[in-house]
Structures are given as C-alpha cells and as structure tokens.
Chain A
Amino acid sequence: MKTSSVCAKLMPLAFVLLGAFAVNAAVAADFELALTIKDHRFEPREPVVPANQRVRLTVHNQDSTPEEFESKVLGREKIIPGGAKAVIFVGPLKPGRYPFVGEFNEATAQGVLVVQ
C-alpha cells in the first residue's frame, strides 16, 4: 500500500533522532547521586544536587518489597523491584525543592531533591 512510502519518508527522521541520541550520550557529564530505600524510607531524605546539571540518580531498594519512585514535579515514575537498583535521569533543574515519594509506601517514603 501507499503507506510504505510514508514509512520511507520517515526513515531519515529516525536516523537523525538516533544520531542525536548517540551524540547526547557521548557528551553528557552527569552529576551522580545515590539514594537507598530501607524500611520504606529514603536515605538521604533531602539530597542536595547542583543546578543546571543533569543528575544520574541511582536508587537502591534494600527492602524485599518493590517500590515506585515517583515525583509529580519532576515527572518521574519508576518501579524498583525489591533488592534491585534502578537509574533515573533528572534535570538539568533550576534551584528549588523537588519532592519525591515512594508511591507504594507513601506514608513513610518521602524525600526532597534540593537543587542549589
């Protein structure tokens, strides 16, 4: 059908996007931040990161149950199985306080990303 030619037209776009990803991955220098979850609490509770730099956030869930890292303001949402580590990229951000929670245990799993 004619749709195949539409696909053909979109192919170059796909390659440009892939190229952009590759360049991006090579250039990026990210601020590393490690968080742990234990007994459904984040540690540290209020980590401090620099402004205007992308952050590579590693969350280590030391509980046996899964948790969902979630921040509405940051627009992030990611499940971390029990005992597992997950990486979440955030930012670059403007200075401010960005709250996050563990959605599955919101009563205790609270934290704030402090950007300075």
Chain B
Amino acid sequence: MFATSLIVFRETLEAALFIGIIAAATRGVARRSAWIAAGVLAGVLGALALAAGMERISAWADGVGQDLLNVAILSVALAMLAWHCVWVSTHGREMAQAARQIGQSAAQTDGALWALAVAVALTVLREGAETVLFVSGLLSGESTGLAALVGAVLSGLAAGVLVGLVMYLGLARVQARHLFSVTNALVLLLAGSLASQLAKALVQAGLLDWGSAPLWDGSSLLANESALGTFLHALMGYDASPSALQLGFYAGAIALVMLATRSVQRRAAVLAR
C-alpha cells in the first residue's frame, strides 16, 4: 500500500507546488482564492473526463494522441504563465501605486488572474488524469481491501497537498518587498519547467528528434527519483539527464518571457513620458 501512496504523492506534488507558488504570487490580489479554486475544480473535472477518454485519445494520431494532447496542454499552460508575467510587469506596478494612494487596505486587482487560473487547471488536469487512471486500475484490478486503498490514496494526496501548503506558508514569510521578485522568479522557473517538459513531449511524440540524447547523467549525484530530485523536478523541472533540446527550451522560455516583459515595460515607460 505504501507504493500506492507514494505514486499518488508524486503525481499530487507537482500540481500542489504549482498551486502553492501561484497562490503566494497572488497574495493580496482581489478574488484570487476564487480564481484558483475554480482552476483546481475545473482541473479535477477535466482530469476525470480525460481519464475516461484516455483509451480513445491513446489511439489518436497513430498512437501518439496522448503526447499531442500533452504538447497542447503544456503549450497553453506556458503561454498563460508568460502572458501573466508580461501583464503583471506593467500593470502590477500601476495597480500597486494606485492601491497605495487610495490606502494600504485596498486589494490589488489582477487583470490576468484568469491566465493563472487556466494554468492551474491545466496542471491539475495533467497530473490528475494520471492519478485517476492509476487508482481506477487498482479498483478494477487486484483484490486489495477497499478501505486500505482509499487510505493509501488519501494519505498520498494529503502528503502532496501538505508540501504545497508548506511552500505557500514558507513564501508567506518572505518580506513583502521581496515577495514580488521571489515569486516572479519562481513563476519563471515553472515556465522553464513546462518548456522542458514540452521538449520531452515533442520528442516522445516523434515530432522532434534532434538534440534529444541526454547530455550527461547526473543520477549518481542527484537521482530523479530521490526525494530532493522529485521536489526539485516539481519546483523547477530538475532532470538528472537532460537533453540539449530540454535545456534549450528551458533557457529559451525563460529568456523569451524576460525579453517580452522588458520590451513591454520599456514601451509602457515611453508611452507614460
């Protein structure tokens, strides 16, 4: 049963850390809890639907339908994070100033919060569908007691959520004036992580094959399946043996988002003059 718990924990961890970081990045933003909750709910419902249709999806496109769907999900999630980074870089400051003038208590508004909600929904969808399939397989498979199974699944889920919560509470201790840059950096790393996974999915689907060989094997230093490796994978896309393509996508996504942010900021500054 411990193995069951561990698998559910691993699947939950990535989504939970993602949500923890997004929640911390939007502290003090009006109606952010409602948006994030809506994202999680949509993700869970989507995961159930996706798991139910997985057999059909697997057969699409000569057996790589699942990977194509993964590519689409990762691309949209990445675009959403990028969009939010760009939006916040200009409006965030204006909103903060406006709020300060009106009074400290005024909640900030975030016009790109929907983008984060979509990214949350897609992350929950991806990780959730795997969990649902795994658990449904156990239910229909071996004759393990139902109570033990439910216990194992719930404890894995709870452990994953707990790590996300610890992440959120840890970020909540960061001083207010540093919080924005810290969470911004973490969101950038999440974007890099999504991009790296996107590179993998493209290769797995057979759409790309250059630069797909692992550049090095760091498994002896820090293995993917170790506790720290699993955590760092969920947090920033750590991979013990990354390919050139993955590294390129990782660095490329971060550079593109930073570049877009800068250029929009510069234009906003010119317009304001």
Chain A residues engaging chain B, CB cutoff 8 angstroms: 1-3, 6, 10, 20-21, 24-25, 28, 30, 54, 56, 58, 64-68, 72-73, 75-76, 78-89, 91-94, 103-104, 106-107
Assembly CA distance A65 to B133 (angstroms): 9
| Residue in chain A with minimal CB distance to B62 | A87
CB pair A3 B140 closer than 8 Å: no
Residues from 208 to 248 in B contacting A, C-beta threshold 8 Å: 208-209, 212-214, 217, 219, 223-225, 239-241, 243
Residue A79 contacts which of B62, B63, B130, B141 (CB distance < 8 angstroms)?
Answer: B130
| Residue in chain B with minimal CB distance to A103 | B7
Residue A65 contacts which of B86, B140, B209, B267 (CB distance < 8 angstroms)?
Answer: B140
In angstroms, how far is the closest chain B Cβ from the Cβ of A11? 13
When distances are taken between beta carbons in the complex, the residues of chain B under 8 Å from A82 are 55, 137, 140
Residues from 41 to 57 in B contacting A, C-beta threshold 8 Å: 54-55
Instruction: Count how many pairs of residues, one from A and one from B, have CB atoms less than 8 Å apart in the complex.
Output: 112
CB pair A86 B63 closer than 8 Å: yes
CB pair B204 A104 closer than 8 Å: no
When distances are taken between beta carbons in the complex, the residues of chain A under 8 Å from B3 are 106-107
When distances are taken between beta carbons in the complex, the residues of chain A under 8 Å from B203 are 89
Given the known inter-chain contacts A65-B141, A79-B54, A89-B206, please indicate yes or no for A3 contacting B264, CB distance below 8 A: yes
Tell yes or no: B58 within 8 A of A by CB.
yes
Given the known inter-chain contacts A2-B264, A2-B268, A85-B63, please indicate yes or no for A64 contacting B209, CB distance below 8 A: no
When distances are taken between beta carbons in the complex, the residues of chain A under 8 Å from B7 are 103-104
Number of interface residues of B (CB under 8 A): 49
When distances are taken between beta carbons in the complex, the residues of chain B under 8 Å from A103 are 7
| Residue in chain A with minimal CB distance to B10 | A103
CB pair B59 A84 closer than 8 Å: yes
When distances are taken between beta carbons in the complex, the residues of chain B under 8 Å from A54 are 206, 209
Given the known inter-chain contacts A24-B209, A88-B204, A89-B205, please indicate yes or no for A81 contacting B62, CB distance below 8 A: no
CB pair A20 B208 closer than 8 Å: yes
Q: List 29 A-B contacts (CB under 8 A).
A: A2-B263, A3-B260, A6-B86, A6-B264, A10-B256, A21-B207, A24-B207, A24-B209, A25-B207, A58-B63, A65-B141, A66-B134, A72-B241, A75-B239, A78-B67, A79-B129, A80-B58, A81-B58, A82-B55, A82-B140, A84-B54, A84-B58, A85-B63, A86-B58, A87-B62, A87-B63, A87-B206, A89-B209, A92-B213
Given contact pairs A79-B66, A83-B55, enumerate 13 new A-B contacts (beta carbons under 8 Å). Answer: A3-B86, A3-B87, A6-B264, A21-B208, A75-B241, A75-B243, A80-B58, A81-B54, A82-B55, A84-B59, A87-B62, A104-B7, A106-B3
